[in-house]
């Protein structure tokens, strides 16, 4: 019996999930492991959201909903886009999915054919290239340098567009670097895209509520409304409302694209969880104090982590504008040996040795198509973050 289809040979298992599972296994074995690798808030889902879910259960809202989501939630999503960005999506231009990852999967699988290309700035989230490959397309990776804040320049985008380009995928703010684009920067990229009407745009704004130092959040259609007919705006409840396990994502876009995505979803998961949708409705229409409090806490943690990592020998840590990750450059540490005798040939060896010798679990930069870095999540308790950074300092200071 054939146990896997050839399309799976084009991708690898998610490195971020693998790191989390390894850390959990080592902890279960009694190891002292500080897991600062996970891409989820360490805050609990706010009480008013949980209470809305409990009320939905008690009211019997446990049946199928429309594939695209309940009418009330789609209206709330449209309200979020209108309130935050001035974008007027109608109810039938919105799709609710089982996480924003499914919305992205739906969009690419519904539109890409063999030979199509998707331009993706890197460092990038591990799943973008994998989903493109599963959809039959080719991921065209554009490296973005630290000197430019890990952001894509318009000239870089222009240089990569070909007759085969089907999608441009932008994560704003970005996982893993925390790079974020303001409206002016998005307009500059938009000017390039306006010259190429065959290119669709997918903007993943899942971290839009988590920006720091007063940085003004923006999205593509807000910055350049003329791109609305070919832009899919993706978001969800996971990060801003600490709802990773609830699995509610959503997207707004052209009616024809949303219809195609709905058709595909109807033959995969059908509707997202009815209870999760009730919770998401409360999240999108309720008070924002919990979001503000979480953002302020993340900002303080970010400042501490960046300062401590920049004090580590051989590390260079850029201060992120958004999300909840730092992505230090470890190039100066490679080619050296650890106190335990491990040779650091690359970022994978660095991360493995750091876990083995100091019990700190981070994700190698190569997972995000940016070798010579690692990703550390500051969505963890302050004391744990401080101890993890001090262990990293000790590890780097002992290299020879």
Residues 366-389 pLDDT 10s: 999 999 999 999 999 999 999 999
Residue 3 has pLDDT above 90, yes or no: no
Residues 239-258 pLDDT 10s: 999 999 999 999 999 999 99
- Model pTM? 0.95
Residue 294 has pLDDT above 80, yes or no: yes
Residues 90-102 pLDDT 10s: 999 999 999 999 9
Rounded CA-CA distance 359/377 in Å is: 15
Segment 341-366 mean pLDDT:
96
> Is the C-alpha dihedral spanning 70, 99, 120, 147 positive or negative?
positive
Contact call for residues 302 and 212 (beta carbons, < 8 A): yes
Residue 47 has pLDDT above 80, yes or no: yes
Confidence of residue 361 (pLDDT cuts 50, 70, 90): very high
Confidence of residue 222 (pLDDT cuts 50, 70, 90): very high
> What residue ranges define each of the domains in the chain, with the CATH number in brackets?
6-44+290-397 (3.90.1150.10), 63-285 (3.40.640.10)
Other Cβ atoms less than 10 A from the Cβ of 378: the count is 28
Rounded CA-CA distance 232/204 in Å is: 8
Residues 161-213 pLDDT 10s: 999 999 999 999 999 999 999 999 999 999 999 999 999 999 999 999 999 99
Q: At what angle do helices 100-111 and 127-134 cross, to 10 degrees?
A: 30
Rounded CA-CA distance 331/347 in Å is: 8
377 three-class SS: strand
Question: Taking phi first (over 0 means left), then psi (-120 to 50 degrees means alpha), and beta for anything else, what does residue 168 get?
Answer: beta
Please report the pLDDT score of residue 5 as a whole number: 79
Confidence of residue 1 (pLDDT cuts 50, 70, 90): low
Residue 4 has pLDDT above 80, yes or no: no
């Amino acid at each position: 019996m054939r146990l896997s289809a050839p399309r799976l040979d084009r991708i690898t298992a998610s490195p971020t999930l693998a790191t989390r599972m390894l850390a959990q296994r080592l902890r279960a074995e009694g190891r002292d492991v500080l897991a600062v690798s996970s891409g989820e808030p360490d805050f609990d889902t706010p009480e008013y959201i949980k209470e809305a879910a409990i009320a939905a259960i008690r009211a019997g809202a446990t049946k199928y909903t429309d594939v695209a989501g309940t009418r009330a939630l789609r209206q709330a999503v449209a309200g979020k886009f209108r309130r935050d960005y001035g974008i007027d999506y109608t109810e039938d231009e919105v799709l609710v999915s089982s996480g924003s990852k499914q919305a992205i999967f739906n969009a690419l699988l519904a539109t890409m054919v063999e030979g199509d290309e998707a331009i993706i700035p890197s460092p990038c989230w591990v799943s973008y290239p994998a989903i493109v490959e599963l959809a039959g397309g080719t991921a065209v990776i554009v490296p973005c340098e630290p000197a430019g804040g890990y952001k894509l320049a318009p000239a870089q985008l222009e240089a990569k567009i070909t007759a085969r380009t089907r999608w441009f995928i932008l994560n704003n703010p970005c996982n893993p670097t925390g790079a974020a684009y303001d409206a002016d920067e998005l307009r500059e990229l938009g000017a390039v895209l306006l010259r190429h009407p065959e290119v669709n745009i997918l903007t993943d704004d899942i971290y839009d509520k988590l920006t720091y130092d007063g940085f003004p959040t923006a999205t593509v259609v807000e910055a350049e409304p003329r791109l609305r007919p070919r832009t899919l705006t993706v978001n969800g409840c996971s990060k801003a409302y600490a709802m990773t396990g609830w699995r509610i994502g959503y997207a707004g876009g052209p009616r024809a694209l949303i219809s195609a995505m709905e058709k595909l979803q109807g033959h995969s998961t059908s509707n997202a969880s009815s209870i999760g949708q009730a919770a998401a409705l409360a999240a999108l229409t309720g008070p924002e104090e919990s979001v503000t409090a979480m953002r302020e806490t993340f900002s303080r943690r970010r400042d501490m982590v960046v300062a401590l990592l920049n004090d580590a020998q051989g590390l260079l840590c850029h201060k992120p504008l958004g999300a909840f990750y730092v992505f230090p450059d470890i190039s100066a540490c490679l080619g050296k040996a650890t106190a335990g005798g491990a040779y650091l040939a690359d970022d994978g060896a660095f991360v493995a040795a750091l876990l083995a010798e100091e019990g700190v679990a981070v994700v190698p930069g190569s997972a995000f198509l940016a070798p010579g870095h690692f990703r550390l999540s500051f969505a963890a308790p302050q004391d744990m973050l401080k101890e993890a950074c001090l262990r990293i300092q000790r590890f780097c200071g002992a290299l020879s």
